[in-house]
Structure 1
Amino acid sequence: MRIRPIICLALSLSCASAWAQRCETGHGARFSVGVEKLQYMPLHTVDGNNRYGGYAREVLDAFAAQHGYTFDYVPLPINRLYSRFLTERTLDFKYPDNPKWREELRGGLPVAYSEVVVSTEEGAMVLPDRRGKPLSALHTLGTVLGFTPWPYQAAIDSRALELTTSNSTDSLLRLGLAGHLDAVYVNVDVANHMLAGELKTAGGLVFDPSLPHARSDFRLSTLRCKQVVEQFNRFLQREQGMLQRLRAGYRIGDAGGNGR
């Protein structure tokens, strides 16, 4: 009966060895990057043909090109992405990631995180005539499936606030525009981009900074390629000028004067 823990330990060590062996960092190395299968422009997006794009794609591709790497982007629904990365461990990297997200799934795993790739505001988008109303006036809140609107978690847990989730940001914004949701908790840059573009209703919903909100730091993470993350950190430090130009080009941080 004592053999089983030994076998499990041997298998764990074998798996750890296999992960380490897979992380080759020489010129021509190829890596898988799990990304969110979500329209989240300008930060990142996956189009109808399953192609990854946006600010994050440009940053990651620029880094890969400097080191002779190839990144294969694997778009997945958010919950499936967590499973593939943290449980099945079949992905080299995850983007975006943050040590505060879904902490219950990490279970002490030795995840290595990069420095911040982009930092933006997440908060409540409301109809203009609802802006400035207190939290107690909110009864329904929408957010993307797999996201945790933690500034509102206490109100949700107490059932003072009813949470609606959807796989698509645009469907949530449409519900907000129609008055079927009191607020949509979403990235402000993403919401403004989608309202002005696809939905053609710029200003139809506005960020309410008087309601709970938080800045969200997006990072690259890995369980087995920590040396690549260290290289990526040096790239982020070295290419500050390029990153600033990219953010300006994508209007990241430009929330129409509302902040983020």
Structure 2
Amino acid sequence: MTIKLRWQARLLCAAVLATVTAASAAGVAGATLSAGSAAPPKRFTVGVENLQYYPLHTVDGANRYRGFARDVLDAFASQQGYAFEYVPLPINRLYTRFLKERTLDFKYPDHPKWREDLRHGLKLSYSNVVVSTEEGAMVLPRHRGRPLSEVRSIGTVLGFTPWPYRQAIDSKAIAVSTGNSFDGLLRHALADHIDVVYMNVDVANYLLAEELKTPGGLIFDPALPHARSDFRLSTLQHPEVVEQFSQFLQREQGLVHKLRQKYRIGDAARP
């Protein structure tokens, strides 16, 4: 073999060896990167009410979702490796986005009996109850114990339906005043401009004490119609995730109880 041929053979061998070494190194680096990095979380959108409903849930001035519901949902998402993006919307717009446009993965809170006219013919999946709380009449202390026949006006937020008063409202015995926020309705009741504000009792007491600085200015009247309200997570698109959430609620009852204690949910409804 000539000197020229021997040099060509050596160069060819060196090139092959370099290629094999580089490929091997790249494979090891890729395997190390794959082993060292977790898969990104699966992301979902959760439509929530753009409403001051603390301690159950609220949207603050920075458009952040907070409260008991956020803690429960985040704990579930963390366990499952999910990431929830909370989308605050006015109540009527929330129903449109979720049930008609179907641009949201989940809605919270929800219940099969809410806005049944919009649910007709839709196959929704609902979780187990996340929290059950008291909804009822907030009245001036001097009006506590007044019979329903003497109630002439009731206030509630646009998009809410005071179910226990439905018959009296339909018969025009009680006039309904609606507003965009519960704190505004509570102010009207404090001024004796409306007889009753129908709302969650825990939320009412929080708003009266912390926002309006009038603790006890209105009180829950158990003699007037009231009801328990069950809050659930719902979906049109991901029933398997809702089932996982129901299992989480069953499995983590201790955690949910601690969160109820943290936010003092249920305390205020006791007469």
Judge same fold: TM > 0.5, yes or no: yes
Instruction: State the 1:153 CA deviation.
Output: 1.0
Give the secondary structure class of the aligned counterpart of 1:210. Answer: coil
Counterpart of 1:118 in structure 2 is: 131
Mapped partners of 2:270, 2:44: distance in 1: 39
Mapped partners of 1:48, 1:112: distance in 2: 32
Give the secondary structure class of the aligned counterpart of 1:72. Answer: strand
CA offsets per residue over residues 41-100 of structure 1, 9 Å max, x none?
000000111110000000000000011100000000000000100011110000000001
* One-letter identity of the residue aligned with 2:193: H
The answer (yes or no) to whether the contact 1:156–1:163 under 8 Å persists in 2 is yes
Counterpart of 1:254 in structure 2 is: 267
The alignment of Structure 1 onto Structure 2 pairs a total of residues equal to: 233
Give the secondary structure class of the aligned counterpart of 2:192. Answer: coil
Gaps of 5+ in 1: 1-25
Counterpart of 2:82 in structure 1 is: 69
Q: Give 2:105's match in structure 1, choosing from 61, 86, 92.
A: 92
Matched, 1:31 2:44: yes
Give the secondary structure class of the aligned counterpart of 1:217. Answer: strand
Alignment TM-score, normalising by the size of structure 2: 0.85
Matched, 1:60 2:73: yes
The answer (yes or no) to whether the contact 2:220–2:269 under 8 Å persists in 1 is no
Counterpart of 1:145 in structure 2 is: 158
Mapped partners of 1:226, 1:67: distance in 2: 15
Q: Give 1:211's match in structure 2, choosing from 218, 224, 236.
A: 224
Gaps of 5+ in 2: 1-38
Aligned ranges 1:116-195 → 2 under 5 Å: 116-195=129-208
Mapped partners of 1:172, 1:75: distance in 2: 21
Give the secondary structure class of the aligned counterpart of 2:211. Answer: coil
The answer (yes or no) to whether the contact 2:137–2:199 under 8 Å persists in 1 is yes
Higher helix share: 2
Instruction: State the 1:193 CA deviation.
Output: 0.9
Counterpart of 1:10 in structure 2 is: none
CA offsets per residue over residues 8-39 of structure 1, 9 Å max, x none?
xxxxxxxxxxxxxxxxxx96110000000000
* One-letter identity of the residue aligned with 1:56: A
CA offsets per residue over residues 200-223 of structure 1, 9 Å max, x none?
111110000110111000000000
Larger Rg computed on CA atoms: 2
* One-letter identity of the residue aligned with 1:93: F
Instruction: State the 1:154 CA deviation.
Output: 1.0
Give the secondary structure class of the aligned counterpart of 1:40. Answer: coil
Mapped partners of 1:236, 1:229: distance in 2: 11
Instruction: State the 1:108 CA deviation.
Output: 2.2
Instruction: State the 1:255 CA deviation.
Output: 1.0
Q: Percent identity?
A: 70
The answer (yes or no) to whether the contact 1:27–1:67 under 8 Å persists in 2 is no
* One-letter identity of the residue aligned with 1:243: V
Mapped partners of 1:88, 1:213: distance in 2: 33
Counterpart of 2:115 in structure 1 is: 102
Supply the RMSD in Å over aligned alpha carbons: 1.0
Counterpart of 2:23 in structure 1 is: none
The answer (yes or no) to whether the contact 2:134–2:269 under 8 Å persists in 1 is no
Alignment TM-score, normalising by the size of structure 1: 0.88
Q: Give 1:236's match in structure 2, choosing from 232, 243, 249.
A: 249
Counterpart of 1:9 in structure 2 is: none
* One-letter identity of the residue aligned with 1:176: A
